[in-house]
Structure 1
Amino acid sequence: AFLRAVDRGVTSRVIMGKNRRSSKMQNLRTMLSVTFMNTLINFASKTVDLNDVVRFADIPYTLCVVDGHRSIIDFSDTLNDSFIAALSVDDRDVGEKLTKFYEKLWKAGESQSTLKVLDLLKSS
């Protein structure tokens, strides 16, 4: 869904947990399908700096706010990276608070050298 949104031109940013980088990359490899590859190629062909859309921070969950209204939080067990629960809230006030929190995480997050390599591949 994320890549389809990017494909439609929706501005999207992702903050990933630092301690989950390798497992996220392994999951990415297993998701490689024709549709996924086409979307990825389309995304890579755009003039997007990956450091502008992906950051890494110390967070034990996944956070998503859609249109500042619907919020989804996915909690995982930090000891074994297993899913615990997901919470979906459909409230503009909560969405605004989580968006402000997300912006703080984004500013505190760091880019990754791997992303710089991917950007170099895009430009060649």
Structure 2
Amino acid sequence: MFTELIKKRIFAYLIDGVVISTPLYIVGIIYWDYILTAHPSQLSKLTLYLQFIPFFLYFFISEMFFDKTLGKKLMKLKVIQTENKNKFTTIFIRTISRLIPLDLATFLIFENELLHDKISKTKVVENI
């Protein structure tokens, strides 16, 4: 059911999740007392700072400047553009479109691709 490329992409995403989450858990532990006593309006800002911004920056910077994240590098994958357009815009759209709910499940619909690949007109390929 899963192609080798999809398996590698899933493992790469799990690795990236650990890379992004580990520093956030450490920050969460350090500021645990503040988090427990914070007002709900402060928690929404905290969520933005601790989840969205690191997620966005990690994927955007990694794919913009290196064509891959650490997970993709370890799994020997890279991102390529399928249309010759402005790379900044392409990777920005790719990163933002990752936030679409159920994006990761779309590999069941699109063979070897995810929704954010289709939207941004990019492709993940083996980096031999």
**Structure (1/2) with the larger helix percentage:** 2
TM-score normalised to structure 1 length: 0.27
**Structure (1/2) with the larger strand percentage:** 1
TM-score normalised to structure 2 length: 0.27
Say which one has the larger Rg.
2
